[in-house]
């Protein structure tokens, strides 16, 4: 595991993140977590369709995508988002998932510690 | 001499002899009689006037002459003639019969006596060839006359009274007869000789001439009176002429001359003319003179004639012998030479000169010169031989070479024979001899010797023993091989063939000499052949032989011995024995190997069989014949029609080769398979089938077992989805099994396929790396590698193939043959994928659960005030999750029955009857089940804390139903109603539990929740889309999770 860059609450503030997660508990927790850092949470949404809709409406800066959404893999969605300038972080429970996207994305293995997520988001925010 | 040499012998021919035997005696008798009579008459005319004495009695000569000339066979004719003539003459002469007879006897006897005397001494064919003969003749005549005269005298005395004395008469008689005989007989003898050996015309002429001269001269001289000068000595003239006659002609003419002179003398004497007729001489004297003259003249004449005749004969003989010699010498191509030892003078004839190459014009005349022509190397030998001959006075013979001069004489050989001529003292005077060119002979001799040598060498080189015996059986020659055979060298001429060894017949029984082929050839003169025998040497060693004796005959056909060529057949015998053994082994092997042969005569319906055949067909051992009927009976009835048909077809098509296999049923009931190969020959009118039978039962059974096994294997392959293939590297075709065909959906029964076809079947994504790998494997000389790839069946479905290839390489590294196994692993892969999926899913779920737990705990902590509360609440939630999982797990993740779920959730609080669950049997899938379970947990927890379950009187009613709507496929409505619980306070707190109840189902399931705090109690209506309701059969996998969407390594 590479050393995680520090979480930077300053930069996180105001970052808009689209949360796509089909487990409510997790989605809720994520929302709670991110809102703690004053991140603008779009969603959470459980399906790719909803996610696309939300994207069209709110144009988030980043997206946190659970790859396995209700049984379907969200590669198309990820590609779509990435092509449209969204920084994508994907989360998955599957071990060693073979990515089907060329987009430079961050992988997070469930369960992941909050710091990992936050640092990744910080990273994204900094780049923005 | 010339006359003599040119005469030819006139031998009496058969005709003559016949004439002699038949006509002769009569003719002779007649001739003699007449001549005698005439001669007698003549003589009587010539009696002396005074005494009446016949000077000579020519008749006597006629008689004895004839008899002497013709030989004893004329005995009787002459005697008869003489006697009859004498009697006649005497009777005519006026003498009495008695005296005539006496005189006849006397005359005849005289002739006979004289002739017999002559014949006794000189045999037949008396002639005046020598003085001795002449004198003998005279003597014989005188004796005979004397004896006859005695008889005549007695006759005279008895019958005639004459005044003369007995002695006088006897003397007279004998003398006149003698004279007569002497003068006349030679004439007749000569005449007969002349008849036999005709004189030549020249001789006759000369003789006649001389005779004529003689007659004239004698007549003249003898009859001339004394005052003629030539009358003084008539003999001076007569004798030369006589001499001439004697010298130049044969005795006949001399005899004739004598006779002529005799006649003249007698005439002159009788008639008193001339010399012998002078008056001065008394009668008696005159007669004596005449007789003397006659005698002398006759003697001289005859002697001269005989001398000359003798000489002539000698000369003739010499000439003849010379002639013969010349012929012989000429014939033998001999040259004649002579060498005078004292003077060294050398003489030779033309042929000798030719032989030696002497210069014809100037031949060598001295020994020294002659020596020049002789090869120097041989001169010493020549000289020594001559010296030896001269010393020992014996003949010598030498062969020498000629000196080579200008090449003409080179290599020429001459053979010389020399005889020594010596003088009275025995000293060698000269050498005479003959030479012969023997070059040819020598060359021939050399060649012959070489031939003989070659022949001997050839004989010796012959591997067969050859020996020759004479007619008695003694060995006269043998070659080296014979010596080797006998073990010793026989002594030629001393050892008999049968002494050299003992003989036995080919079975080892001793053979007596009489039965040996050589003895048969010797004694019976016939050949024996093909009789094998055994020869035993004295040492005991026995050898197998084949004698081939033949009788030998020389050029005249006489039997001279036997030649025997004996072959040593030991090797052959050994080979025969080995062959017999081999044959036996072969028969045995054939029997053991169950191979038999037969020869079938179609017309006779019989076959000759080998021991192997008998064994195969279960016939008794030793059977050599079998009939077609027997064979038919043995053939298995099921195979017989097919067999018959096949054979008929073969024969109809006049094919020569016939092959078939069929079963037979042996006598013991056992069934055997026979493979028969035959050759049919149609020649002539007797078709024959010759062939072999092999018992192939074991093989057939094995084949059957094998083919069954193969079929089983093929089936197994097919069933197992396994196929195999093989191909030669570089070949476009490969051989495949049924399994392979089935695997690749090729038509059933395909055994060969194009490799390019396979390439078309391979999934395009896989073809590239497969070919790379294959090439690399070849390069690395890998003998084995395995790959998995996809093929696309004709129907479009994809199958996974696991392929294992085995490669064999040649010496230089080139791949030779590839064999391989293909297994359809589609199912396996599917199962593997399925398993992978399951595992992955499991992972996912676990991770999800953990994430959920993490989230739940995070959320719980926010809504709890104390650690204890937190732990209690978290624990309860986690237990709820666990319980749900347990439920799912029990049912194989195939769905959660709603009633079970409710019961479980409410179980901790369910007392007597405060929980009422009612609804149809409904299964929720895992997702909905879990979601609902969490919601129900919260509801239950709330009810337990503040609601109906917190009081003992409270009730919870849960009812549900499925509602089918046309628009969205239906829903599941679950109704939660609490009653009789404590008063509901509207707790404004939006706790975690509330959010769970109200948000979870809409979020995760897309359903609706209506959560109300009614005055009677909490009411919650849940709506779940019917899609989350499963059947019993569906798997626990999420609906949309299919392998195609997952990619896992």
pLDDT digits (tens, 9 = 90+) for B674-683: 999 999 888 7
Cβ-Cβ pairs closer than 8 A, A with B, add up to 89
Q: Do B94 and B49 contact (CB within 8 A), yes or no? A: no
> Which of B840, B846, B852 has the CB atom closest to A26's CB atom?
B852
The whole-chain average pLDDT of chain B stands at 84
The confidence score (pLDDT) of residue B1048 equals 38
The confidence score (pLDDT) of residue B2 equals 44
Residue showing tokens 């990273």: A123
Give the max Cα distance, chain A. 36
B817 DSSP β-pair partners: B728, B808
CA B413 to chain CA mean position, Å: 46
Model confidence band, residue B159 (pLDDT cutoffs 50, 70, 90): confident
Residue B495: pLDDT above 50? Answer: yes
Helical (H) or strand (E) element with B845: helix B826-863
The confidence score (pLDDT) of residue B5 equals 45
Comparing B281 with B1043, which gets the higher pLDDT?
B281
The confidence score (pLDDT) of residue B691 equals 92
CA B64 to chain CA mean position, Å: 87
Q: Do A84 and A76 contact (CB within 8 A), yes or no? A: no
**Rounded CA separation B241/B211 (Å):** 8
Model confidence band, residue B1042 (pLDDT cutoffs 50, 70, 90): very low
What is the per-residue pLDDT across B524-573, written as a single tens digit (0 to 9) for each?
888 888 889 999 988 888 999 999 999 999 889 899 999 999 998 888 88
**Rounded CA separation B873/B126 (Å):** 201
Helices B867-890, B926-945: axis angle to 10 degrees equals: 140
Residue B354: pLDDT above 90? Answer: no
Query: CA-CA distances (angstroms) from residue B827 to B45, B264, B746, B1036?
Result: 185, 180, 20, 21
Residues of B in contact with A96 (CB under 8 A): 1048-1049
**A29 lies within 8 A of chain B by CB:** yes
The confidence score (pLDDT) of residue B121 equals 87
The confidence score (pLDDT) of residue B42 equals 77
Query: CB A94 to CB B862 under 8 A?
Result: no
Residue B611: pLDDT above 60? Answer: yes
Residues 6+ apart with CB under 8 A from B166: B153, B157
Residues of B in contact with A30 (CB under 8 A): 855
Length of chain B: 1049
CA angle B494, B500, B504 (to 5 degrees): 145
> Which of B845, B1039, B1049 has the CB atom closest to A96's CB atom?
B1049
Contacts by B85-92, CB closer than 8 A, 24 or more apart: B85/B32, B85/B33, B85/B34, B85/B35, B85/B36, B85/B37, B85/B40, B85/B59, B86/B36, B86/B40, B86/B59, B88/B37, B89/B36, B89/B37, B89/B40, B89/B41, B89/B44
**Rounded CA separation B611/B593 (Å):** 11
Residue B91: pLDDT above 60? Answer: yes
Query: Residue range B4-17: average pLDDT?
Result: 53
How far the first Cα of chain B sits from its last, in Å, is 159
Query: Residue range B965-991: average pLDDT?
Result: 78
> Which of A28, A73, A111 has the CB atom closest to B847's CB atom?
A111
**Rounded CA separation B363/B354 (Å):** 10
What is the per-residue pLDDT across B988-1012, written as a single tens digit (0 to 9) for each?
556 788 888 999 999 989 899 999 8
Query: CB A46 to CB B934 under 8 A?
Result: no
Residue B1041: pLDDT above 50? Answer: no
The confidence score (pLDDT) of residue B578 equals 92
**Rounded CA separation B456/B468 (Å):** 13
**Rounded CA separation A60/B337 (Å):** 167
Comparing B467 with A9, which gets the higher pLDDT?
B467
Residues B249-269 as b/e (b if ≥16 CB within 10 A, e otherwise) read: bbbbbbbbbbbbbbbbbbbbb
Query: CA-CA distances (angstroms) from residue B539 to B480, B516, B703?
Result: 19, 20, 64
The confidence score (pLDDT) of residue B52 equals 60
**Rounded CA separation B406/B1029 (Å):** 150
Strand A68-69 and strand A106-109: the pairing is unpaired
Residue showing tokens 């040593």: B568
Model confidence band, residue B168 (pLDDT cutoffs 50, 70, 90): confident
Model confidence band, residue B653 (pLDDT cutoffs 50, 70, 90): confident
Strand order in the sheet with B915-918: B915-918, B955-963, B971-979, B1018-1025, B1008-1013
The confidence score (pLDDT) of residue A97 equals 59
Q: Do B245 and B253 contact (CB within 8 A), yes or no? A: yes
**Rounded CA separation A66/B218 (Å):** 204
Query: Residue range B776-780: average pLDDT?
Result: 89
**Rounded CA separation B168/B164 (Å):** 6
> Which of B854, B1000, B1006 has the CB atom closest to A111's CB atom?
B854
The confidence score (pLDDT) of residue B1 equals 44
Model confidence band, residue B727 (pLDDT cutoffs 50, 70, 90): very high
Tell me the percentage of chain A whose pLDDT exceeds 90: 9
Model confidence band, residue B1039 (pLDDT cutoffs 50, 70, 90): very low
**Rounded CA separation A105/A86 (Å):** 10
Question: Which of B441, B480, B476 shows the shortest CA–CA distance to B462?
Answer: B480
The confidence score (pLDDT) of residue B357 equals 84
Residues 6+ apart with CB under 8 A from B658: B646, B647, B650, B676, B677, B678, B679, B680, B689, B691
Query: Residue range B116-138: average pLDDT?
Result: 86
The confidence score (pLDDT) of residue A109 equals 78
The confidence score (pLDDT) of residue B273 equals 72
What is the per-residue pLDDT across B568-597, written as a single tens digit (0 to 9) for each?
888 888 999 999 999 888 888 887 888 889
Residues 6+ apart with CB under 8 A from B340: B346, B429, B430
Residue B405: pLDDT above 80? Answer: no
Model confidence band, residue B53 (pLDDT cutoffs 50, 70, 90): low
Query: Residue range B801-829: average pLDDT?
Result: 90
Question: Which of A25, A22, A28, A41 shows the shortest CA–CA distance to A121?
Answer: A41
Cα of A128 to nearest chain B Cα, Å: 29
**A83 lies within 8 A of chain B by CB:** no
Query: Residue range B44-51: average pLDDT?
Result: 64
The confidence score (pLDDT) of residue B1040 equals 42
Cα of B974 to nearest chain A Cα, Å: 20
Query: Residue range B943-956: average pLDDT?
Result: 86
The confidence score (pLDDT) of residue B223 equals 78
State the pTM of this model. 0.40
Length of chain A: 128
Using a 10 angstrom Cβ sphere, with 0-12 exposed, 13-18 middle and 19 or more buried, the burial of residue B142 is middle
Model confidence band, residue B239 (pLDDT cutoffs 50, 70, 90): confident
Residues of B in contact with A26 (CB under 8 A): 848, 851-852, 854-855
Interface test with B, best of A24, A94, A96 (most B CBs within 10 A): A24
The confidence score (pLDDT) of residue B989 equals 57
The confidence score (pLDDT) of residue B999 equals 92
Tell me the percentage of chain B whose pLDDT exceeds 70: 92
Residue showing tokens 């038919």: B632
Cβ count near B644 (within 10 Å): 12
Tokens of A55: 């994207």
Question: Which of B1006, B1024, B1041 shows the shortest CA–CA distance to B924?
Answer: B1024
CA B410 to chain CA mean position, Å: 47
The confidence score (pLDDT) of residue B1043 equals 47
**Rounded CA separation B433/B413 (Å):** 16
- Omega prior to A111 cis, within 30 of 0: yes
Interface test with B, best of A22, A23, A25, A111 (most B CBs within 10 A): A25
Phi then psi for residue B155, to 5 deg, are: -65, -45
Q: Do B975 and B1031 contact (CB within 8 A), yes or no? A: no
**Rounded CA separation B789/B767 (Å):** 8
Residue B366: pLDDT above 90? Answer: no
Query: CB A26 to CB B844 under 8 A?
Result: no
The whole-chain average pLDDT of chain A stands at 82
Residues of A in contact with B846 (CB under 8 A): 93
ipTM of the complex: 0.88
């Amino acid at each position: 595991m590479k050393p995680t860059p520090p979480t930077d609450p300053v930069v996180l503030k105001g970052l808009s993140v689209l949360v796509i997660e089909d487990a409510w508990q997790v989605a809720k927790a994520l929302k709670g977590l991110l809102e703690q850092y004053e991140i603008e949470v779009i969603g959470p949404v459980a399906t790719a369709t909803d996610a696309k809709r939300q994207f069209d409406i709110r144009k988030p800066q980043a997206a946190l995508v659970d790859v396995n959404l209700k049984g379907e893999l969200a590669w198309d969605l990820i590609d779509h988002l990435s092509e449209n300038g969204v920084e994508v972080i994907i989360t998955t429970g599957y071990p060693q998932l073979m990515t089907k996207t060329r987009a430079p994305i961050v992988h997070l293995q469930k369960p992941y510690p909050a710091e990992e997520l936050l640092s990744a988001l910080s990273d994204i925010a900094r780049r923005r | 001499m010339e006359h003599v040499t040119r005469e030819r012998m006139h031998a009496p021919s058969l005709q003559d002899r016949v004439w002699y035997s038949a006509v002769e005696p009569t003719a002779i008798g007649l001739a003699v009689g007449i001549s005698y009579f005439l001669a007698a008459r003549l003589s009587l005319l010539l009696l002396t006037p005074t005494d009446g004495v016949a000077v000579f009695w020519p008749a006597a000569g006629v008689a004895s002459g004839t008899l002497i000339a013709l030989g004893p066979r004329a005995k009787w004719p002459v005697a008869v003639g003489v006697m009859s003539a004498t009697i006649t003459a005497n009777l005519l002469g006026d003498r009495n019969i008695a005296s005539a007879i006496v005189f006849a006897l006397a005359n005849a006897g005289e002739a006979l006596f004289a002739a017999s005397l002559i014949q006794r001494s000189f045999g037949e064919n008396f002639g005046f060839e020598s003085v001795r003969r002449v004198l003998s003749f005279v003597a014989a005549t005188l004796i005979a006359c004397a004896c006859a005269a005695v008889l005549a005298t007695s006759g005279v005395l008895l019958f005639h009274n004459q005044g003369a004395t007995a002695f006088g008469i006897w003397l007279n008689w004998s003398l006149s007869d003698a004279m007569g005989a002497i003068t006349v007989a030679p004439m007749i003898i000569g005449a007969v000789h002349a008849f036999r050996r005709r004189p030549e015309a020249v001789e006759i002429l000369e003789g006649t001439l001389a005779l004529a001269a003689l007659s004239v001269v004698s007549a003249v001289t003898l009859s001339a009176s004394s005052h003629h000068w030539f009358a003084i000595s008539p003999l001076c003239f007569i004798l030369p002429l006589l001499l001439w006659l004697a010298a130049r002609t044969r005795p006949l003419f001399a005899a004739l001359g004598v006779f002529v002179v005799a006649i003249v003398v007698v005439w002159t004497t009788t008639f008193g003319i001339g010399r012998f007729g002078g008056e001065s001489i008394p009668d008696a004297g005159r007669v004596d003179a005449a007789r003397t003259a006659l005698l002398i003249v006759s003697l001289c004449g005859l002697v001269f004639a005989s001398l000359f005749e003798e000489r002539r004969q000698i000369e003739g003989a010499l000439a003849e012998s010379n002639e013969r010699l010349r012929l012989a010498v000429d014939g033998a191509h001999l040259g004649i030479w002579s060498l005078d030892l004292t003077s060294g003078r050398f003489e030779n004839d033309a042929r000798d000169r030719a032989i030696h190459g002497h210069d014809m014009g100037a031949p060598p005349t001295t020994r020294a010169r002659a020596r020049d022509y002789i090869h120097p190397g041989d001169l010493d030998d020549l000289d020594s031989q001559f010296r030896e001959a001269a010393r020992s006075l014996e003949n010598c013979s030498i062969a020498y070479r000629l000196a080579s001069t200008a090449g003409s004489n080179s290599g020429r050989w001459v053979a010389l024979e020399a005889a020594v001529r010596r003088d009275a003292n025995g000293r060698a005077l000269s050498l005479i001899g003959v030479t012969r060119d023997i070059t040819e002979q020598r060359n021939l001799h050399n060649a012959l010797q070489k031939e003989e040598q070659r022949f001997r060498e050839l004989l010796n080189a012959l591997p067969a023993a050859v020996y020759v015996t004479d007619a008695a059986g003694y060995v006269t020659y043998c070659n080296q091989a014979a010596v080797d055979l006998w073990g010793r060298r026989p002594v030629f001429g001393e050892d008999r063939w049968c002494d050299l060894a003992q003989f036995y017949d080919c079975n080892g029984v001793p053979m007596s000499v009489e039965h040996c082929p050589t003895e048969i050839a010797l004694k019976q003169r016939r050949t024996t052949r093909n009789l094998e025998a055994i020869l035993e040497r004295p040492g005991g060693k026995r050898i197998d032989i084949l004698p081939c004796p033949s009788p030998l005959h020389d050029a005249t056909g006489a039997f001279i011995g036997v030649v025997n060529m004996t072959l040593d057949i030991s090797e052959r015998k050994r080979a025969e024995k080995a062959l017999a053994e081999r044959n036996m082994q072969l028969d045995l092997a054939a029997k053991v190997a169950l191979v038999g042969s037969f020869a079938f005569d179609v017309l006779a319906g019989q076959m000759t069989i080998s021991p192997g055949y008998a064994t195969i067909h279960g016939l008794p051992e030793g059977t050599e014949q079998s009939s077609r009927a027997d064979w038919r009976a043995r053939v298995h009835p099921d195979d017989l029609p097919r067999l018959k048909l096949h054979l008929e077809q073969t024969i109809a098509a006049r094919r020569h080769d016939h092959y078939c296999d069929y079963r037979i049923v042996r006598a013991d009931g056992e069934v055997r398979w026979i493979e028969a190969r035959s050759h049919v020959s149609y020649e002539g009118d007797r078709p024959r089938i010759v062939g072999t039978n092999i018992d192939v039962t074991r093989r057939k059974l094995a084949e059957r077992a094998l083919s069954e096994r193969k079929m089983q294997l093929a089936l197994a392959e097919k069933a197992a989805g396994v196929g195999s293939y093989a191909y030669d590297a570089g070949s476009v075709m490969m051989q495949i099994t049924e399994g392979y065909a089935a695997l690749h959906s090729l038509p059933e029964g395909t055994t060969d396929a194009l490799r390019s076809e396979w390439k078309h079947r391979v999934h395009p994504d896989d073809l590239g790396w497969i070919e790379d790998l294959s090439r690399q494997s070849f390069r690395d000389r890998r003998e084995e590698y395995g790959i998995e790839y996809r093929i696309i069946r004709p129907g479009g479905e994809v199958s996974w193939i696991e392929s294992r290839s085995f490669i064999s390489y040649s010496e230089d590294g080139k791949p030779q043959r590839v064999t391989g196994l293909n297994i359809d692993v589609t199912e396996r892969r599917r199962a593997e994928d399925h398993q992978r999926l399951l595992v992955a899913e499991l992972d996912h779920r676990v991770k999800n659960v953990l994430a959920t737990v993490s989230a739940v705990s995070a959320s719980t902590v926010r809504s709890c005030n104390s650690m204890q509360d937190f732990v209690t609440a978290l624990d309860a939630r986690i237990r709820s999750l666990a319980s749900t999982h347990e439920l799912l797990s029990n049912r194989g993740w195939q769905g959660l029955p709603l009633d079970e779920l409710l019961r479980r959730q409410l179980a901790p609080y369910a007392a007597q009857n405060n929980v009422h669950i009612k609804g149809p049997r409904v299964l929720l899938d895992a997702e909905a089940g879990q979601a609902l379970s969490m919601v129900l947990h919260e509801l239950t927890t709330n009810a337990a804390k503040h609601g109906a379950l917190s009081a003992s009187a409270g009730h919870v009613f849960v009812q549900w139903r499925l509602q089918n709507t046309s628009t969205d496929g239906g829903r599941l409505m679950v109704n939660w109603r609490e009653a009789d619980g404590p008063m509901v306070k509207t707790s404004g707190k939006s706790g975690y539990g509330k959010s769970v109840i109200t948000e979870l189902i809409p979020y995760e399931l897309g359903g609706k929740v209506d959560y109300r705090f009614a005055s009677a109690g909490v009411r919650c209506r849940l709506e779940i889309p019917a899609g989350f309701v499963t059947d019993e059969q569906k798997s626990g996998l999420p609906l949309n999770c299919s392998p195609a969407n997952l990619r896992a390594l």
